[in-house]
């Protein structure tokens, strides 16, 4: 039976330093082999359960990684249980009957991801529908913030990061949010933050920012512009370039005067979201998601 539905895709920028050839493929491989569950919110945990490679037809070189991040509820079986029939705590006679195999956990959900190894952009499925044992489907979601939390925690593991000094994970914002900030008529204050590492290519503007920060031994750069009068800050071409870099490698925040007062705006508030239609009568769900993720990653130039 065919299904027609929509899936949301989001994007993260993952930057490593040092970054020799193959660094991102090796990083993902170590993360997969580690099989480390990470608590991302409350009792909800995530783990990488599948990893494969996309290769260049001409060279056979790995150019992309495909995989699955699975989430589940890691319940504490020794915690108190409720007897819904009585509204009271379940007694030992009831709880002693509970047997949950150590390898099994409920609320299992799967989220496909695509990692462009050259651009170090990770596109992932933010919404998922999992079949229920009784029929139908249950909807699950994985937000950019939770995915970032999973990766940040995973990359702390010394077995995963190996010789990599720094791994920076940032949520790629919706470009329209940055446009909204920069085109605001009365910017009272605008703050742009860049965190290393931010670019492999020193010939680009992002690369020059990186080189400058390395030269002065800085890992984070913040620029703050405060309006000198009620006309507000007027972004010029240089500031716009800096803001675009900050949006991808950190964040841009602003305080903008509007009719209802001074309103805070931030690129972090609006992550990039791509809505993809899936029709299983035409192609499998995994193919539709992978194809859309590949296309989305190619739209962004990060180096």
* Nearest C-alpha neighbor of 285 from the set 277, 296, 273, 297: 277
- Cα(44)–Cα(72) distance, integer angstroms: 6
pLDDT number for residue 124 = 95
pLDDT number for residue 257 = 93
pLDDT number for residue 199 = 58
Do 116 and 300 touch, CB atoms closer than 8 A?
A: no
Residue 280: is its pLDDT beyond 90?
A: no
Residue 158: is its pLDDT beyond 90?
A: yes
Domain-wise residue ranges, the chain: 4-169+272-298, 173-269
Who wins on pLDDT, 295 or 142? 142
Q: 17-26, 117-126, 132-141, 205-214 — which is least confidently predicted?
A: 205-214
pLDDT number for residue 215 = 84
Residue 203 confidence class, pLDDT cut points 50, 70, 90: very low
**How many other C-beta atoms lie within 10 A of the C-beta of residue 260?**
6
Residue 182: is its pLDDT beyond 60?
A: yes
The angle at the Cα of 40, spanning 35 to 44, to the nearest 5 degrees, equals 85
Q: What is the mean pLDDT of residues 119-145?
A: 92
- Rounded mean pLDDT of the chain? 88
pLDDT number for residue 19 = 78
Share of the chain above pLDDT 90, in %: 49
Residue 202 confidence class, pLDDT cut points 50, 70, 90: very low
Helix (H, G, I), strand (E, B) or coil at 268: helix
């Amino acid at each position: 039976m065919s299904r027609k539905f929509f899936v949301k895709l989001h994007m993260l920028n993952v930057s490593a330093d040092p970054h020799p050839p193959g660094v991102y493929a090796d990083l993902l491989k170590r993360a997969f082999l580690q099989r480390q569950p990470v608590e991302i919110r409350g009792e909800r945990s995530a783990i990488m359960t599948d990893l494969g490679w996309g290769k260049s037809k001409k060279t056979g070189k790995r150019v992309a990684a495909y995989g699955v991040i699975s989430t589940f509820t890691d319940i504490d079986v020794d915690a108190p249980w409720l007897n819904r029939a009585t509204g009271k705590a379940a007694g030992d006679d009831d709880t002693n009957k509970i047997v949950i195999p150590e390898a099994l956990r409920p609320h299992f959900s799967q989220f496909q991801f695509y990692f462009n190894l050259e651009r170090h952009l990770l596109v992932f499925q933010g919404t998922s529908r999992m079949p229920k044992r009784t029929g139908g489907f249950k909807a699950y979601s994985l937000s950019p913030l939770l995915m970032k939390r999973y990766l940040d925690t995973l990359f702390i593991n010394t077995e995963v990061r190996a010789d990599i000094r720094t791994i920076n994970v940032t949520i790629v914002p919706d470009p329209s949010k940055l446009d909204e900030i920069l085109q605001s008529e009365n910017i009272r204050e605008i703050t742009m933050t860049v965190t290393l590492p931010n670019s492999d290519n020193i010939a680009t503007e992002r690369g020059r920012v990186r080189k400058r920060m390395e030269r002065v031994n800085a890992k984070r750069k913040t620029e703050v512009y405060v309006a000198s009068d009620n006309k507000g800050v007027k972004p010029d071409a240089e500031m716009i370039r800096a803001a675009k870099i900050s949006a991808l490698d950190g964040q841009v925040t602003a305080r903008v005067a509007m009719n209802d007062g001074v309103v805070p705006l931030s690129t972090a508030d609006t992550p990039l979201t791509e809505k993809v239609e899936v029709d299983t009568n035409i192609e499998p769900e995994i193919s539709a998601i992978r194809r859309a993720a590949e296309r989305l990653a190619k739209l962004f130039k990060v180096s």
